[in-house]
Amino acid sequence: MRDQNAPINAQSEQDGGIGIVILVEDRDRISPQEDAKKLSAETGYPIVKRGLNDAKVKSNKSLSKPKKPHTNAQKMAKRSTKGNSCVANIDIDSQWQLVYTSNGLALRLSNEPSWGDIIIDFNSAALHYRKQHGGGRNEALAKAIGIKGKDSLSVIDCTAGMGNDSFVMASVGAHVIMLERSPIIAALLEDALNRIESVAELSERLSLVKTDATDYILKQGAKKKAKPLADVIYLDPMFPHKKKSALVKKEMRAFQQLLGADIDSAQLLDAALSHAGSRVVVKRPGSADPIELACGRKPDTAIESKKHRFDVYILH
Residue-wise pLDDT tens digits, 272-307 = 999 999 999 999 998 899 999 999 999 999 999 888
Query: Does 244 have pLDDT greater than 70?
Result: no
At residue 135, the pLDDT reads 60
pLDDT of residue 114: 79
**Confidence check: pLDDT of 63 > 50:** no
User: What is the Cα–Cα distance from 278 to 62, expressed in whole angstroms?
Assistant: 59
Q: Dump pLDDT digits (tens) for 14-54.
A: 444 457 899 999 888 888 999 999 999 999 999 987 643 44
Ordered structural domains, the chain, with CATH = 8-115 (no CATH), 125-314 (3.40.50.150)
Q: What would the mean pLDDT of 70-88 be, rounded to a whole number? A: 43
Cα separation of 153 and 176, whole Å? 8
* Predicted pLDDT of residue 94: 60
Q: Structure pTM? A: 0.80
Minimum mean pLDDT range among 98-102, 153-157, 182-186, 242-246 = 242-246
Asked whether the predicted pLDDT for residue 213 surpasses 90, the reply is yes
pLDDT of amino acid 283:
96
Q: Is 7 exposed, middle or buried (0-12, 13-18, 19+ CB in 10 A)?
A: exposed
Residue 199 has pLDDT above 70, yes or no: no
Percent of the chain with pLDDT over 90: 49
Dihedral sign for Cα atoms in the order 56, 60, 66, 69 = negative
Query: 159-174: per-residue pLDDT in tens?
Result: 999 999 999 999 888 9
Which pLDDT belongs to residue 24? 93
Residue-wise DSSP of the chain: ---TTS-GGGGGGTSTT--EEEEE---SSSHHHHHHHHHHHHH-PPEE---TTHHHHHHHHHTSPP--HHHHHHHHHHHHTGGG--EE-S----SEEEEEETTEEEEEETT-GGG--B---TT-HHHHHHHHHS-GGGSHHHHHHT--TT---EEEES--TTSHHHHHHHHTT-EEEEEE--HHHHHHHHHHHHT--S-HHHHHHEEEEES-HHHHHHHHHHHHTTS-SEEEEEE------SS--TTS-HHHHHHHHHH-----HHHHHHHHHHHEEEEEEEEEETTSPPPP-TT----SEEEE-SSEEEEEEE--
Among the listed residues 94, 92, 96, the one whose alpha carbon sits nearest the alpha carbon of residue 55:
92
Mean pLDDT of the chain: 78
